[in-house]
Structure 1
Amino acid sequence: MSIESLFWISLVAVVAPLVSGAVPRRLVPEVVLLLVLGVVIGPFGIGLAEPDEAIDMLSDLGLAMLFLQAGFEIDPAELTGSAGRRAMWTWLTSLAVAFGLVALLDAAGLVHAEVALAIALTSTALGTLLPILKDGGLLGRPVGEHVLRHGAVGELGPIVAIALLLGTRGPIRSLVVLAAFAAFALLVTVWSLRLQRRESQILELIRRGAETTGQTTVRVTMLLLVSLLAVATAFHLDIVLAAFAAGFILRIAIPEGDEHLEARLEGIAFGLLVPIFFVHSGMGLDPQAIVDEPGAFVAVIVLILVARGLPVLGACRLERGPSRLTDRDGLAVALFSSTGLPIIVAVTSVAVSAGQMTGKNASVLVGAGAATVLLCPLLATLVMGRTAPEAAQRGEGDATRGTVS
């Protein structure tokens, strides 16, 4: 590993949150600064840092930890209930709209790699949004819950579509491979639940070791993650699917959560590995490709808003009952759901490797995804009209006053 490159990446990881915190209302998310500064220090910028095999591995682990955290935030009941089904139908609508738009552009001779582009337009970067939602105090609140639901499906749907439509095995064999991976993940889930019910000696040793230097619960979680990553790699599946499954299994195993375990995992993820992933992603962006084709860059952003944002907005408007959002909050959810990056990076990587997309076009697409990370959360925050932390504090104050009275 190049220690010099790691130094500059570490420096950026420290500078980004400081600058983000200095911006009023935190309107510039930290992840955007990590991406932009990654471009600056990377090979397409001033060349202070170069990716190598070791940094690539750390970046992959950062991506995995990001999606483990995202999977852990999802309540399984939310996906299996009526709200989860609505989110699934919304994503399928997004996919249909995306294929329709891309077909029109293809007929006009304006685009290539149609399948890859259509899949990219339907993604929601839940992993990228997670730190933004945490910092904004939106988790556990109606807007955050809607974003988590649409984000979960907006991550899983494109991952499955990548495996089925862009893989070299063909749809049928790819479906069999996905089913085999799902069966393995189910076996791991069943085993963990049975282990808990039996109150075995192994489980007691794990619990006792959680507060020692052994950190057994953290190590077991990392073993779960790496095991699923290894199985996904053997099946030639994207590691994002494995990481999300690991987080989902962890949530099922400890449905009430574990503050100590969560704090330690967040320290590993957001303190070390996740910043490396975002800076590494920025280092791979070629700004010249965007400068050369500004029209395509803007067009992709518009396509993402139409293909992903409009269906989510429609779903929020059609929702009835106590979970219905105000028009402003529904628009905020649609904007948050239009935020894309990790899946776009995955789609373009597969398409470029398969010779279905040029590196220049991939840079434009990834650059547009990075732009949504800046623009969509920013616009969503402005649409909501006040910062979420202020709303949270006001809600807590109201609850406290109600208790006292």
Structure 2
Amino acid sequence: MTGVGLGNLLVVVAVGFAVPFVLGLAPRLRLPAVVLEIVAGILIGPSVLGWAAVDDPVRVMAVLGLAFLLFLSGLEIELDRLRGRVLALAAGGFAASVGIALVVATGLYAVDLSGSPVFVAIVLTATSLGIVVPVLKDAGAISTPFGQLVVAAGSIADFGAIILLSLLFSREGGGFGSRAAVLLAFAVLAVAVGGAVLAAERLPSLSAALVRLQDTTAQIRVRGAFLLLVALAALAESLGLETILGAFVAGLLISALDRDEVMTHPEFRLKLEAVGFGVFVPVFFVSSGMRFDLDALTAGGRPLALVPIFLVALALARGLPALLYRRELGPRRAVVAGLLQATSLPFIVAATQIGTEIGAIDAATAAALVGAGIVSVLLFPAAALVVLGRQPAYAGSTVSGASTGASREARGSQ
């Protein structure tokens, strides 16, 4: 272990512990922990105090944190909800988002305010399910047709944004046709893996062994989930796709296969949340703050002025399509749906890191996009609850920390 120091990781982990703990001591401070984790990362990082840097241990933990974040986001998607009228409305809303985002991003590019218009458009089309689900749960709306439509729309937006990012932009390069073929190959292999897992679980001897070992020190289901996560992320990477796609699909597969959670392993998802949100995910967000280029954002008026511009772009790209829901939900709830759909941060953080690496956007644009995402998390859910006549009740949650539990409770109430 010579040459590997844990001092920087200690600072990062301490911040990851301190942020939700402080929020827990001040329950009236109604902020999602992810926002303060990123802000704290900026403060302790090279841009401000210089207390810690992103070295190899922090970098490895952050990569696993991003993988777990996307894995748990995939776990949120309930395929049973994506059908019929709900699926048609959610898909139509996402298609409208892509169109609006392309128009907005092209306009910004034409006046030299952003980088690649296609890349920026993709960044603007995602929704932060991890914030949206707890807000709907706290408002008592998660199991209503309104809540189901919003969650379905957010699920399609997250999945669609990741697919588009993997299809159109990659660190490995290559043309559209080759990427499409690779993406299809990955999908076939992922389905094959899912089929193999399902077949194995149906074998009585293997199923009995899983039940026997799931709550021992083996924690066999958690190890199996981690194996699937790493395997699909590594497969995506080996095919030249983004690892976040593999992580997301791993969560989606487990969500589709884990149909008997109440019967055989009621704490399985809770254990996965404990590993992800308790260990790895905070490191990703704190280190993202440490990587945040504050100098690029504050150098001159242009980058800082982009924050409200991108915030409006988010509202247009994800909020306006909610008008499609007016007949189904009524005007007021359509406005609420639009505000919640326009709440986005984790995908923005992940995508902008990729975008700067491949040269699709510069550091100033990336910082402005992340800044707009932070403001969206602070403003849009609170505004949505005001329109609903509720008080914000998601303080102290991480970006997705409460969401899987909320979804699970909602499934039980249904």
Deviation at 1:127, TM superposition (A): 4.4
Given residue 375 of structure 1, which amino acid in structure 2 is its aligned partner?
L
Q: Cα 1:345–1:89, aligned 2, differ >3 Å: closer, same or farther?
A: same
Deviations 1:64-116 (A, max 9, x none): 22222222222212224431232122111111111112223333444332111
Could you tell me how far apart the structure 2 residues matched to 1:211 and 1:137 are? 33
Provide the residue aligned with 1:9 in structure 2: 12
Match of 2:193 among 188, 196, 204: 188
Contact persistence 1:341–1:373 (CA under 8 A): yes
How does 1:40-189 map onto structure 2 within 5 Å?
40-127=43-130, 129=132, 139-140=142-143, 144-167=147-170, 168-189=173-194
> TM-score, length-normalised on structure 1?
0.86
How does 1:197-276 map onto structure 2 within 5 Å?
197-199=202-204, 201-257=205-261, 258-276=265-283
Could you tell me how far apart the structure 2 residues matched to 1:241 and 1:272 are? 21
Match of 1:371 among 368, 375, 380: 375
Could you tell me how far apart the structure 1 residues matched to 2:18 and 2:90 are? 37
Could you tell me how far apart the structure 2 residues matched to 1:283 and 1:97 are? 32
Could you tell me how far apart the structure 1 residues matched to 2:137 and 2:69 are? 13
- Structure 1: give runs of 5+ residues left out of the alignment: 391-405
* 1:317 maps to 2:326: yes
Could you tell me how far apart the structure 2 residues matched to 1:86 and 1:25 are? 36
Q: Helix, strand or coil for the counterpart of 1:214?
A: coil
Q: Cα 1:18–1:135, aligned 2, differ >3 Å: closer, same or farther?
A: farther
Given residue 66 of structure 1, which amino acid in structure 2 is its aligned partner?
L
Q: Cα 1:226–1:136, aligned 2, differ >3 Å: closer, same or farther?
A: farther
Q: Which is further off, 3-12 or 203-212? A: 3-12
Deviations 1:304-361 (A, max 9, x none): 11111111x2133132xxxx3x544433332222122232233323332232322222
Provide the residue aligned with 2:288 in structure 1: 281
Given residue 113 of structure 1, which amino acid in structure 2 is its aligned partner?
S
Provide the residue aligned with 2:403 in structure 1: none
Deviations 1:15-56 (A, max 9, x none): 211333345555211111111111111111211111122212
Given residue 310 of structure 1, which amino acid in structure 2 is its aligned partner?
L
* 1:303 maps to 2:310: no
Could you tell me how far apart the structure 2 residues matched to 1:309 and 1:247 are? 27
Contact persistence 1:120–1:344 (CA under 8 A): yes
Given residue 281 of structure 2, which amino acid in structure 1 is its aligned partner?
V
Q: Cα 1:296–1:316, aligned 2, differ >3 Å: closer, same or farther?
A: same
Provide the residue aligned with 2:407 in structure 1: none
Could you tell me how far apart the structure 1 residues matched to 2:352 and 2:312 are? 18
- Structure 2: give runs of 5+ residues left out of the alignment: 395-414
Contact persistence 1:164–1:170 (CA under 8 A): no
Q: Cα 1:277–1:128, aligned 2, differ >3 Å: closer, same or farther?
A: farther
Given residue 304 of structure 2, which amino acid in structure 1 is its aligned partner?
P
Q: Helix, strand or coil for the counterpart of 1:51?
A: coil
Could you tell me how far apart the structure 1 residues matched to 2:92 and 2:260 are? 28
Given residue 307 of structure 1, which amino acid in structure 2 is its aligned partner?
A
Could you tell me how far apart the structure 1 residues matched to 2:147 and 2:291 are? 30
Contact persistence 2:66–2:284 (CA under 8 A): yes
Deviations 1:361-395 (A, max 9, x none): 222222222222222223223333224779xxxxx
Q: Helix, strand or coil for the counterpart of 2:82?
A: helix
Q: Cα 1:275–1:112, aligned 2, differ >3 Å: closer, same or farther?
A: closer
Could you tell me how far apart the structure 1 residues matched to 2:372 and 2:177 are? 32
Q: Cα 1:43–1:372, aligned 2, differ >3 Å: closer, same or farther?
A: same
Provide the residue aligned with 1:401 in structure 2: none
* 1:359 maps to 2:363: yes
Given residue 373 of structure 1, which amino acid in structure 2 is its aligned partner?
V
Deviation at 1:137, TM superposition (A): 7.0
Deviation at 1:178, TM superposition (A): 0.7
* 1:339 maps to 2:343: yes
Q: Which is further off, 293-302 or 380-389? A: 380-389
How does 1:28-47 map onto structure 2 within 5 Å?
28-47=31-50
Q: Helix, strand or coil for the counterpart of 1:301?
A: helix
Q: Which is further off, 283-292 or 59-68? A: 283-292
Could you tell me how far apart the structure 2 residues matched to 1:236 and 1:61 are? 18
Give % identity: 34
Deviation at 1:252, TM superposition (A): 1.8
Q: Cα 1:389–1:162, aligned 2, differ >3 Å: closer, same or farther?
A: closer
Q: Cα 1:108–1:387, aligned 2, differ >3 Å: closer, same or farther?
A: closer
Could you tell me how far apart the structure 2 residues matched to 1:135 and 1:286 are? 35
Given residue 271 of structure 1, which amino acid in structure 2 is its aligned partner?
G
Q: Cα 1:141–1:222, aligned 2, differ >3 Å: closer, same or farther?
A: farther
Output the aligned Cα RMSD.
Answer: 2.5
Could you tell me how far apart the structure 2 residues matched to 1:138 and 1:374 are? 20
Given residue 315 of structure 1, which amino acid in structure 2 is its aligned partner?
L
> TM-score, length-normalised on structure 2?
0.85
Contact persistence 2:129–2:151 (CA under 8 A): yes
Could you tell me how far apart the structure 2 residues matched to 1:14 and 1:101 are? 39
* 1:18 maps to 2:21: yes
Could you tell me how far apart the structure 2 residues matched to 1:75 and 1:216 are? 24
Given residue 282 of structure 2, which amino acid in structure 1 is its aligned partner?
P
Contact persistence 1:137–1:388 (CA under 8 A): no
